[in-house]
Structure 1
Amino acid sequence: MDESESRFISSQKVAHLASADETGAPHVVPICFVLEAGVIYTAIDAKPKRVDAMKLRRVRNIIENPNVALVFDRYSEDWNRIGYVIVTGQGTLMAEGEERLMAEIALREKYLQYQEMLPVGCPVIKIEPKRVVSWGNLELDDPHRPDQTNTLR
């Protein structure tokens, strides 16, 4: 992941996490996240859910099949501003440890809502990027710069 991709990802508030179960059945869910030292973290927060956190489909899928993808995108009616970064990698569930705590703190700092909606000690999904693909205008300073580049790593 290069610097422009990291900046673009960090500037986003929502990403979409795609996971699949052991049979390959896909599942996509919007997530809150942080990017720290090239690793993406997302927590199982206290927003209302129909099942227990450990029974969420994304959690079950990552336990069965750690291959995941994330999409970070920006849409605009001005198509010179659209862009995206797609990250594929390995997801793991963290229930304890210093790294999990660091991610929880970083998530609380990024999202004001997490001051109340993120349970202390919550499970965190860690995503280690293996491949990054980006397209379009990833620039944050000049939204009208038509930087239509494609990168693949």
Structure 2
Amino acid sequence: MNRYRLAHLATADRHGKPLVVPLCFACHRQSIYGVVDEKPKKPSVSRLRRLRNIAENPQVALLVDHYEEDWSRLSYILVEGRASELHSGNEHASALRLLRRKYPQYRAMQLEDKPVIKISLRRVIYWKGA
């Protein structure tokens, strides 16, 4: 999965209202990490709907896909998991190192005080066109 550059994170609030947002991510063992980075956000980070949804309902899905006009070459990986927020500690620091290794843009950002979204894998579905 780490060869993919972008995923889409699906969350839902306690009433089931969905939200899908793009997510830069890195994988390590049975976890996937993304950070709420310094790109402009409205509202403030603490009020982001994706984080409120995770607090209310930690069940999430993450989709990475490959599209080509030749549909026999289509593929996707769908991950179902449980999300949580990391705000500090060794795992938070390790996740930032993984993300900075994959995305050079993160190297110039001050991310140490930003929440990391951790997705603990529950189920992984892989599909490839014939």
Place the TM-score, normalised by the shorter chain, in its bin.
over 0.9
- Give SS of 1:96's match: coil
Q: Match of 2:14?
A: 22
Runs of 5+ unmatched residues, structure 1: 1-8, 138-147, 149-153
TM-score by length of 1: 0.81
Cα distance between partner residues in 2 of 1:118 and 1:59: 19
In structure 2, what is the equivalent of residue 85 of structure 1?
77
Structure with the larger RCO, 1 or 2 (CA within 8 Å, 6+ apart): 2
Partner of 2:47: 55
Quote the residue 1:116 is aligned against: 108
Kept in 1: contact 2:96–2:111 (CA 8 A): no
State the Cα distance separating 1:122 from its structure 2 match: 1.8
Q: What percentage of residue pairs aligned between the two structures are identical?
A: 45
- Show structure 1 runs of 4+ deviating over 6 A: none
SS in 1 for 2:104: coil
1:118 offset after TM fit, Å?
4.8
Alignment partner for residue 73 of structure 1, among 65, 70, 73?
A: 65
Residue in 1 that maps onto 2:5: 13
User: What per-residue deviation string (whole Å, max 9, x for no partner) do you get for residues 28-63 of structure 1?
Assistant: 000100001121000010000111112101000000
What residue identity is the alignment partner of 2:49?
R
List runs of 5+ in structure 2 lacking aligned partners: none
User: 1:131 is matched with which residue?
Assistant: 123
Larger radius of gyration: 1
Give the alignment's TM-score, normalised by structure 2. Answer: 0.95
What is aligned with 1:144? none
